[in-house]
Amino acid sequence: MEKWTQIIKPKSKWHQLRLKEVWEYRDLILIFVRRDIVASYKQTLLGPLWMFLGPIFTVVVYTLVFNKIAKISTEGIPAPLFYLAGTTLWSYFQTSLNATSGTFVANAGIFGKVYFPRLVSPISVVLSNLVKFGIQMMMFLCFYFYYYFQEGSIIQPNSCILLVPFLIFLMGGIALGLGISISALTTKYRDLTYFISFGVTLLMYATPVIYPISAIPETYKVFINFNPISPIIETFRYAFTGQGTFSPSGLVFSFTFMIVVLFIGTVFFSKVEKTFMDTV
Amino acid sequence: MSVVIKVENLSKQYRLGMVNSGTIKDDIIRWWSLLRGKENPLLKVGEDNDRTFVGKSDYVWSLKDINFDVKQGEVLGIIGKNGAGKSTLLKILSKVTAPTTGVVKSKGRIASLLEVGTGFHPELTGKENIYLNGAILGMRRAEITKKLDEIIEFAGVERYVDTPVKRYSSGMYVRLAFAVAAHLESEILIIDEVLSVGDAEFQKKCLGKMNSISKNEGRTVLFVSHNIQAVAELCTKGLVLENGKTLVYGNIEECIRKYHASTRGGNLDSLALGNRLERTSGKAIFTKIEGVKDGKESWEFDYKDEIKLHFEVVTNEEVENLSVYIALKHVFSNETITNIEQNVSLETLRKGEKIGFEISVDPKTIRPGEYKMYYALGKIGTKEFYDVIDDNVDIPMLFINTSGKDIHENVGFISISHNFKIDA
């Protein structure tokens, strides 16, 4: 019997996800992450500055519109801090999802020339976005300590802070899972791309980013609870401020959702990666 | 030696036209037949990838039933005209796309170089790009570090390793990219047309490197190129593709011969006419040139055969003193070995007149081998050309087969007539 190290066949079984191969390419993931970071900072001096300006403008607008005009409760937390806590984690999710959902289209050039496990690209995107998230997190912490040391502050950090790395992991995982599912579908049904771009924007309003869960009327609460991102944002805010709701069952739901969506995404993705070059 | 790549019944079907229209319908047809456990009905349709006529089906076979195997240390040259399926084959071998049917089995890592500098990022330095490109091509970080100095030296960019590659000259860029690929530690290397870049000196260096990769390191190389000369120099075996099918698979000399023979002569009235008219006046043009053997078109003759070429010419204007010029050229160097100039008509020809004529060369004049042909129409004794058929037009070469009996007949190009006299 001859021993072949590789066999190329028309179709593989749906459960052959070749995750081991992705692991073998871990060096490439790290090099991609490094490339993304170096490239985005070398190109423009204003690059890092925008990362601060973006959230600040957003928070100013949110404070004016939702707090001053619409008068939506922030549970006693200073409005800017409340919104910043929400958008910091949310924008990590949003940028990761937007970038990963375009994996095949954005990388068509390189994917058409050389083979490496395609999952390397979305994984490295989610990782390199962590750096941007880290910068915004530092800004959040500056605001946080400013308000914390104010007189009469009701901000009470608690042991849930230990959960923060896990929350980030959940966010990255869900963004990756959704992103690769969408990227696999958009290679076939192009019009999905348009739906996704405004879908993500709308999803923010179904997530407690600009309002606390407690402000939701009971009738609509079920919708918010079905959103797997809600518990993550709510727990994040609760961990730092002590206000809001902490629901362990919600986090279990988010975690389960992440596992399921990652699995489905990987199945879709590995099915599409073999032939997408013929359709893109 | 052991077989390292085995390709069995490999086929690839592509869908033409609008990518998205009707795919949901086709999807449903596929699912339905799969559910019933039947063969995909869409695989039965499809036609050969011949671009000269408009097909009836939306599906074409870019590759159809390709079979070959490559042994360790062999250099396989894959040749064929544009659209013959070379690139599709390479894409399947390098896992960029999956085949429709068939299997490819291989031993060892395959590194493919379908384009140099894949993934190079202009903002990164030369060194950073070596790591990036190397990792994309499947190297581990440690392996790259081990070979870093060697790569930089081969590329000759020592001074600029810490400069972003966007400041590199295009030559440096290509050299760096090839250097990374040439130093991959893969057992099988797939190379597509990389030698068309870089200056002559570097091309030589690349050819040398590829030679040593296969001969000294025992690695297997699959090489695709339009540069037949490079293929002939490097490769031991060849695979000629035509319209997605295997035309010949065997030793490289035979492949090159068949490849040239596959380019059809026949009707020239429209072939590359734009190109021909750009360079000449077009007062009179060739409408047909064919080799004739036993009354049929053939470009393959035996040494003992009379070599007949049949021509048809049409005049587009009034021409006087029309003559034909034919040259026999060396396949690689393109040097003229011998030539013929022949008056076709001493009278003035009217516009729109058609003339056919034949030129024959005595048997045992042209030595066995292959020759590039060059044809021209012009005014005798002048350098005024009406039509020129050369390399730019896809015309057949002339093949003279050896009878194999006389060891001297295979040497040289032309037999010369001679006289002999014993001293009185």
Which residues lie across from B290 on neighbouring strands? B310
Residues of B in contact with A275 (CB under 8 A): 97-98
Q: Say if the ipTM goes beyond 0.85.
A: no
Q: Which two tokens stand for residue A23?
A: 């692991």
Is residue A259 in a domain?
yes
Pairing of strands B237-242, B75-80: parallel
Stretch A260-274: mean pLDDT, rounded?
A: 88
- B164 Cβ contact partners less than 8 Å away, ≥ 6 residues apart: A42, B122, B123, B124, B125
Burial of residue A111 (CB within 10 Å: 0-12, 13-18, 19+) is buried
Smallest CA–CA distance from B129 into chain A, residue:
A35
Residues of B in contact with A26 (CB under 8 A): none
Is residue A120 in a domain?
yes
Q: Which of residues 63-92 of B touch A (CB under 8 A)?
A: 91-92
Backbone angles phi, psi at B401, to 5 degrees: -85, 145
Q: Which two tokens stand for residue B124?
A: 């990164």
- A161 Cβ contact partners less than 8 Å away, ≥ 6 residues apart: A239, A240
Residues of A in contact with B136 (CB under 8 A): 28, 110, 114, 116
Burial of residue A61 (CB within 10 Å: 0-12, 13-18, 19+) is exposed
- Using the Cβ of B202 and the Cβ atoms of chain A, whether some distance falls under 8 Å is answered with no
- Which of B1, B24, B118, B139 is the best substitution to test chain A (most A C-beta atoms within 10 A)? B118
Is residue A11 in a domain?
no
**Long-range CB contacts for residues A194-198, cutoff 8 Å, separation at least 24:** A196/A98, A196/A101, A197/A98
Q: Which two tokens stand for residue A180?
A: 């690769």
Number of folded domains in chain A?
1
Q: For chains A and B, what is the number of CB pairs under 8 angstroms?
A: 102
Q: CB A39 to CB B121 under 8 A?
A: yes
Residues of B in contact with A28 (CB under 8 A): 135-136
Evaluate whether B373 touches B393 at the Cβ level (below 8 Å).
Answer: no
**Span of A73-82, A194-203, B27-36 with lowest mean pLDDT:** B27-36
Is residue A44 in a domain?
yes
- From the CA of B59, how many Å to the nearest CA of chain A? 12
Q: CB B99 to CB A9 under 8 A?
A: yes
Q: Which of A273, A186, A170 is nearest to A228 (CA)?
A: A170
Smallest CA–CA distance from A7 into chain B, residue:
B105
Structural domain boundaries enclosing A40: 19-278
Is residue A3 in a domain?
no
Dihedral of CA atoms B204, B206, B208, B214 in degrees, nearest 10, equals -150
A151: DSSP letter: T
Is residue A139 in a domain?
yes
Evaluate whether A156 touches A81 at the Cβ level (below 8 Å).
Answer: no
Smallest CA–CA distance from B116 into chain A, residue:
A113
Q: List per-residue pLDDT tens for chain B, 424 residues long.
A: 688 889 999 898 887 654 444 455 666 776 777 677 666 666 655 555 554 445 556 677 888 899 998 988 888 988 887 677 888 888 888 888 888 888 899 888 888 776 766 778 888 888 988 999 888 888 888 989 999 999 999 888 888 889 888 888 877 888 888 888 778 777 888 887 655 555 667 777 777 877 787 778 888 888 887 667 678 778 888 998 888 888 888 888 888 777 776 665 555 666 667 677 777 888 888 888 888 888 888 888 888 889 999 999 989 888 888 999 999 988 777 789 999 999 988 888 888 888 999 999 998 899 888 888 899 998 877 788 888 888 777 677 888 888 777 778 878 889 888 899 999 8
- From the CA of A38, how many Å to the nearest CA of chain B? 8
Residues of B in contact with A43 (CB under 8 A): 123
Instruction: Write down the pTM of the prediction.
Output: 0.72
**Span of A63-67, A272-276, B197-201 with lowest mean pLDDT:** B197-201
Q: CB A189 to CB B20 under 8 A?
A: yes
Evaluate whether B12 touches B45 at the Cβ level (below 8 Å).
Answer: no
Evaluate whether B192 touches B89 at the Cβ level (below 8 Å).
Answer: no
CA–CA separation, A200 and B182 (whole Å): 45
- From the CA of B173, how many Å to the nearest CA of chain A? 17
CA–CA separation, A234 and A249 (whole Å): 13
- A52 Cβ contact partners less than 8 Å away, ≥ 6 residues apart: A135, A136, A139
CA–CA separation, A111 and A107 (whole Å): 6
Q: Count the residues in chain A.
A: 280
Dihedral of CA atoms B119, B120, B124, B128 in degrees, nearest 10, equals 80
Q: CB A275 to CB B23 under 8 A?
A: no
Q: Which two tokens stand for residue B19?
A: 């990518």
Q: Which of residues 11-50 of B touch A (CB under 8 A)?
A: 14-15, 19-20, 23
Q: Count the residues in chain B.
A: 424
Q: Which of residues 98-117 of A touch B (CB under 8 A)?
A: 110-116
Is residue A200 in a domain?
yes
Q: CB B98 to CB A11 under 8 A?
A: yes
Q: Enumerate domains of chain B plus CATH numbers.
A: 3-10+65-261 (3.40.50.300), 264-401 (2.70.50.60)
pLDDT, tens digit, 9 for 90 and up, residues A217-251: 888 888 788 899 999 999 999 999 888 888 889 99
Three-state DSSP class for residue A82: helix
Evaluate whether B106 touches A5 at the Cβ level (below 8 Å).
Answer: yes
Q: Which of residues 97-116 of B touch A (CB under 8 A)?
A: 97-110, 112, 114-115
What is the H or E stretch that residue B6 is in? strand B3-15
CA–CA separation, B343 and B266 (whole Å): 22
Is residue A143 in a domain?
yes
Q: Which of residues 124-183 of A touch B (CB under 8 A)?
A: none
Q: Which two tokens stand for residue A50?
A: 């925008």
CA–CA separation, A86 and A71 (whole Å): 17
CA–CA separation, B370 and B205 (whole Å): 28
Higher pLDDT, B403 or A176: A176
Q: CB A110 to CB B97 under 8 A?
A: no
Q: Which of residues 147-176 of B touch A (CB under 8 A)?
A: 164
